[in-house]
Amino acid sequence: MISQKKVWLLLKFTVALKLLWMISLLRCLNIRWDPSSVLGYRWLDYTDADCGPDNVCNCSAVLQGEREALEQAKLLTSTKDFQKSVQIPNEYYINVNLDCRKFKSSRKYLTFPLSREEEDFPLAYSMVVHHKVQNFEQLLRAIYAPQNIYCVHVDKKSEASVFSAISAITSCFPNIFMVSQAVSVVYAAWPRVQADLNCMADLYNAKTKWKYFINLCGQDFPLKTNLEIVRALQSLKGSNSLESEKLPENKQWRVSHAHQIVDGQIQPTENRKEPPPFNLSIMSGNAYIVVNRGYIRSVLEDNRILALIEWAKDTFSPDEFLWATIQRLPGVPGSKRPSPKYDMTDINAIARLVKWRLHEGEVYPECQGNHVRDICVYGAGDLQWLLQQHHLFANKFDTEAYPIAVYCLEKYLRHKALAELF
């Protein structure tokens, strides 16, 4: 007969074997062992052990704007060794679809809805990308939720490694797909709009009956968790949120003369354009919008909008007036009346925050990174201010130039999303 002591020793040995098996399994999945993960979601949070910049900088202090931490971030960002240590080469992503489970677990993608509220309010994203795969992947990871749906448009001119890497990433997820028809995007020309239009059509025809559409580029990043985004959109009560105001005199030339693409660049012609169809008032706005499903249906089916689209194809920077003009058309779901009283600036809209050099010191504080085409590329010193804003997304971020800004913001949002569970 087996003694009680032997039974106890056998039980302890069995438990020990199971623990060793769990630890080995977690190592295979590249998940750090944490006993609390058995009962909670701690394994989805970002920690110092995730080989990010937080190993050598204090994200909490950076987010609070502490001078010493910001100076350390600047110093680290300027060193080549640090820059090299936090960069992920395209080659890493190209073969991730060989083991999607490992990729999703090691990169800590959320594979289940964090709340019923979010599950019942799916979102649709259009993502137009042409380079910087790591930027794209960190953005995707930050906004990913299994109930949402994502259309990715990679510029046809992009390098083969960029296309291969992004294709591999998207193939790991049933709710992420490459656009059915890609175009060669030309800055400030019609193909930029066409890229979003193609994704709009694919998303609208998908099985997921999403509530709102949001379009992004590869250098955007969220300022809110998915739950916060859902609640912000619910509060719109069916309305849209995007910049839409009177077209200023200094931009009238964009729509008064025809333009054409020559050698990959948009150029004006001597031909004057006919007035817009249906005597529509052309409004000023930007390329990035937050609109409901009905707005997208109108873009794809409304005869007035289809005529406006044809008219706009030879204008300059049509993305900066088309959506804004549609937003003021009577009958478009979520739209506003054309009266100037309903004009909305980019500061008041929630779609996207951009810090323009021209308005620094007046509308918002000075850029703590650097400028590209007069737009601030955010540094770590911009984070405290960014998180005080009501916008859902901001532009521009760059994981190569300012990796700490992206990492600390991403870590903050993940920690906040998990904290909302309890």
pLDDT per residue over 304-357, tens digit each? 999 999 999 999 999 999 999 999 999 999 999 999 999 999 999 999 999 999
The pair of three-digit structure tokens given for residue 201, joined into one six-digit string? 């059509």
Under DSSP, is residue 344 helix (H, G, I), strand (E, B) or coil?
strand
Supply the range of the domain harboring residue 327: 245-342
Q: What is the pLDDT of residue 280?
A: 95
Mind listing the pLDDT tens digit for each residue in 58-78?
999 999 999 999 999 999 888
Mind listing the pLDDT tens digit for each residue in 211-241?
999 999 999 999 999 999 999 999 999 999 9
- Residue 342 and residue 288: Cα distance in Å, rounded? 18
Residues 313 and 361 in one domain: no
pTM for the complete prediction?
A: 0.88
Residues 227 and 273 in one domain: no
Residues 110 and 219 in one domain: yes
Mind listing the pLDDT tens digit for each residue in 260-319?
999 999 999 999 999 999 999 999 999 999 999 999 999 999 999 999 999 999 999 999
**Active-site residues: which are they?**
320
- Whether 93 maps to a domain, the answer reads yes
* The last residue of a domain, from among 283, 315, 342: 342
Residues 268 and 136 in one domain: no
Mind listing the pLDDT tens digit for each residue in 389-403?
999 999 999 999 999
Q: What is the pLDDT of residue 248?
A: 96
Q: Could you count the other beta carbons within 10 Å of the beta carbon of residue 3?
A: 8
Strand (E) or helix (H) holding 325:
helix 322-326
Cβ contacts of 305 within 8 Å, gap of 6 or more: 298, 299, 326, 329, 332
Residues 139 and 174 in one domain: yes
- Whether 53 maps to a domain, the answer reads no
Cβ contacts of 226 within 8 Å, gap of 6 or more: 114, 118, 123, 143, 145, 148, 417
- Whether 68 maps to a domain, the answer reads no
Binned at pLDDT 50, 70 and 90, residue 51 comes out as low
Residues 161 and 270 in one domain: no
Share of the chain above pLDDT 90, in %: 82
- Whether 348 maps to a domain, the answer reads no
- Residue 193 and residue 166: Cα distance in Å, rounded? 21
- Residue 226 and residue 204: Cα distance in Å, rounded? 21
Mind listing the pLDDT tens digit for each residue in 163-192?
999 999 999 999 999 999 999 999 999 999
- Residue 62 and residue 383: Cα distance in Å, rounded? 8
Residues 99 and 176 in one domain: yes
Angstrom CA distances, 10 to 1, 15, 17, 30, stand at 14, 9, 11, 30
Residues 211 and 277 in one domain: no
Residues 226 and 280 in one domain: no
Residues 160 and 307 in one domain: no
Contact predicate 227/420, CB 8 Å: yes
Q: What is the mean pLDDT of the chain?
A: 90
The arithmetic mean of pLDDT across residues 83-89, rounded, is 87
The arithmetic mean of pLDDT across residues 87-94, rounded, is 94
Residues 369 and 408 in one domain: yes
Please count the structural domains in the chain.
Answer: 3
**Which CATH number belongs to the domain containing residue 225 in this structure?**
3.90.550
The pair of three-digit structure tokens given for residue 234, joined into one six-digit string? 């619910």
- Whether 363 maps to a domain, the answer reads yes
Mind listing the pLDDT tens digit for each residue in 101-130?
999 999 999 999 999 999 999 999 999 999
Residues 221 and 255 in one domain: no
- Residue 363 and residue 360: Cα distance in Å, rounded? 6
